[in-house]
């Protein structure tokens, strides 16, 4: 049996028996999520918790000062950032900002692949957030929210982590990036859904992770999947041109974008760059 097939078989068997080692949610994200669910939490206490993590503090300031928040006055403290973002949204946004911490490895080759995967995740997420921002301007009463799409998009490819970690035990696999990508395409969504479940995320997030690349799942109403898939179209992850065109037509039909060329406009690109600046 080839090394590639051996790895694939190992992954499938571990998934089947719930034996795959899954990444853990960063401790600071756990603290924020638990605190956000406390009915007695207040803005000052939440600010104190977030301030314990320098990287998360910087991330929250970037979000609060981004064009997405629609404010011209710059905030300079974590307390001001939390106040601007709001307790309802802070749970998802803080978790999203902490996700980068799981894309790390002490193995040089694995770390390189994880860094590449994280960059692709940021690219898709930035498109999803930018497009959602425009959509919300004209659809103020929708149940969809920026905090949910930010977190959903940042975990949409989380299944790549256990695959790369397992592949670390089979160094020859990294010499065959085509196979590695095939393993990620075939198993990533299923594994990713398992990760979100292990992290205690709602079923909504697990469904997003498991379904975003399955184009047989086509919601008739505007859905978070649409925004993640728009990011995949924008960055050429869906490589089939007819698939790209069909998806863009459907987004125009749903009112997500005014026309099929919207994501090429200066207006959209400016918003995309603003969203991306929160993660770099």
pLDDT of residue 209: 97
Could you count the other beta carbons within 10 Å of the beta carbon of residue 38?
Answer: 10
Tens of pLDDT along 69-127? 776 788 999 999 999 998 889 999 999 999 999 999 988 889 999 999 999 999 999 99
Q: What is the rounded CA–CA span in Å between residue 224 and residue 201?
A: 15
Is residue 89 within 8 Å of residue 146, measured between CB atoms?
yes
Query: pTM of the full predicted structure?
Result: 0.91
Give yes or no for a contact between 181 and 171, defined as CB atoms under 8 angstroms apart.
Answer: no
What string of pLDDT tens digits covers the 280 residues of the chain? 466 677 788 888 888 888 888 899 999 999 999 999 999 999 999 999 999 999 999 999 999 988 777 767 889 999 999 999 988 899 999 999 999 999 999 888 899 999 999 999 999 999 999 999 999 999 999 999 999 999 999 999 999 999 998 888 888 888 788 888 888 888 899 999 999 999 999 999 999 999 999 999 999 999 999 999 999 999 999 999 999 999 999 999 999 999 999 999 999 999 999 999 999 8
| Cβ contact 48:81 at 8 Å | no
237-264 burial, b at 16+ Cβ within 10 Å, e below that, comes to: bbeeeeebeebbeebeeeebbeeeebbe
Superfamily the domain 3-23+102-276 falls into: Hypothetical protein af1432 (1.10.3210.10)
Q: Is 178 left (phi over 0), alpha (psi -120 to 50) or beta?
A: alpha
Domain boundaries, the chain: 3-23+102-276
Burial class (CB in 10 A: 0-12, 13-18, 19+), 37: exposed
Distance between CA 195 and CA 206 in Å, rounded? 8
Joined tokens for residue 109? 């080759």
State the chain's mean pLDDT as an integer. Answer: 91
φ/ψ (deg, to 5) at 249: -60, -40
């Amino acid at each position: 049996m080839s090394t590639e097939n051996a790895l694939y078989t190992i992954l499938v068997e571990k998934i089947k028996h719930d034996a795959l080692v899954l990444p853990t949610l960063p401790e600071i994200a756990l603290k924020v999520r638990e605190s956000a669910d406390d009915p007695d939490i207040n803005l000052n206490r939440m600010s104190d918790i977030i301030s314990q993590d320098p990287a998360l503090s910087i991330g929250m300031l970037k979000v609060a000062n981004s064009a997405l928040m629609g404010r011209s006055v710059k905030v300079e403290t974590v307390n001001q950032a939390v106040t601007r973002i709001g307790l309802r949204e802070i749970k998802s946004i803080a978790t999203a900002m902490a996700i980068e911490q799981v894309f790390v490895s002490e193995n040089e080759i694995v770390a390189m692949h994880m860094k590449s995967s994280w960059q692709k995740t940021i690219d898709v997420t930035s498109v999803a957030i930018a497009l959602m921002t425009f959509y919300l301007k004209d659809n103020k009463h929708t149940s969809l929210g920026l905090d949910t799409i930010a977190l959903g998009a940042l975990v949409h490819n989380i299944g790549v982590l256990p695959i790369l970690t397992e592949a670390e035990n089979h160094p020859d696999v990294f010499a065959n990036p085509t196979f590695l990508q095939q393993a990620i395409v075939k198993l990533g969504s299923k594994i990713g859904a398992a990760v979100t479940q292990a992290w205690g995320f709602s079923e909504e997030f697990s469904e997003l992770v498991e379904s975003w690349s399955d184009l047989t799942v086509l919601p008739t109403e505007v859905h978070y999947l649409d925004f993640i898939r728009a990011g995949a179209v924008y960055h050429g992850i869906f490589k089939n041109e007819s698939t790209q065109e069909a998806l863009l037509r459907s987004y125009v039909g749903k009112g997500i974008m005014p026309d099929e060329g919207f994501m090429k406009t200066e207006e959209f690109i400016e918003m995309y760059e603003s969203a991306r600046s929160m993660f770099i």
